[in-house]
Amino acid sequence: MEETYAVITGASQGLGKSFAYELARRKINLVLISLPDQRLSALCADLQDQFGIKAHACETDLSKKESILSVAEWINSQFDVCMLINNAGVGGTKKFEDASTGYIDTIIQLNVLATALLTHQLLPNLHKRTKAYILNVSSLAAFSPIGYKTVYPASKAFVHSFSRGLYQELKNTNVFVSVVNPGPMKTNEDSTRRIEAQGFFARITSLNPDKVAQYCIRQLEKRDSVIMVNHFSWLFLSLLPIWVKLPMLTNKIRKELHTEQQVG
């Protein structure tokens, strides 16, 4: 049988790590990518021991174009890829004029360039399989601009639009493209603290990354091209006109930022 691999970016923690365990349970070999010093090799060893699959670690910074091209070349030379999950991403809350150029550049390079460029470089590899999948991780933030986040929702709007266009372009080929738009998830201590601070509504609509990963892979197999995880939040955002939700969301983020500054 053909030995194929799923490639997951941002795989050391949060949703990326949950994707790794979900695919390993399904006996799919893995190539995991994350920043250095994230204990990625230990994660690969654990996945191999638990599930008897092959797992390879690649530690690199995907916010740098040369790193994206280098890791893509390595993957294409070593592995037959059946699935690509573009999960790596970064956000942040900051007044735009106070943001550094590095802050802005990192969000755009990682969320936008890494998603598009890695997909572009691995697509010929994916085309060699009988069936292959691309899953891009966007966000509910893609559906509304938000003050004090500014660049992040715009970058996720790119991921959503890029995924939908690529789906249409490849719909009659062997490569199926999907995008998932999850809401807030308790992926680490910082995200958990933010969600808890936002009150009751945020807590009841927050998502468990393990359950999100399970649902996404199940929907991917069903060829669901737009995966909505939190349907209540999605409906809420869809029904509200932009002149209502833009100031409402911005005020919410402004208060959060003000609270953090007071604590800091």
Q: Where in the sequence numbering do the catalytic residues fall?
A: 152, 156
Sequence-ordered list of residues with C-beta below 8 angstroms from that of 258, at least 6 positions apart, any chain: none
Report how far residue 178's alpha carbon sits from residue 135's, in angstroms, rounded to the nearest whole number: 5
Bridge partners (DSSP) of residue 34 are 59
Give the chain's length.
Answer: 264
User: Computed from CA positions of residues 42, 80, 121, 170, in that sequence, does the dihedral angle turn out positive or negative?
Assistant: negative
Burial of 32 (0-12, 13-18, 19+ CB in 10 A): buried
Report how far residue 187's alpha carbon sits from residue 201's, in angstroms, rounded to the nearest whole number: 18
Whole-angstrom Cα Rg for the chain: 18
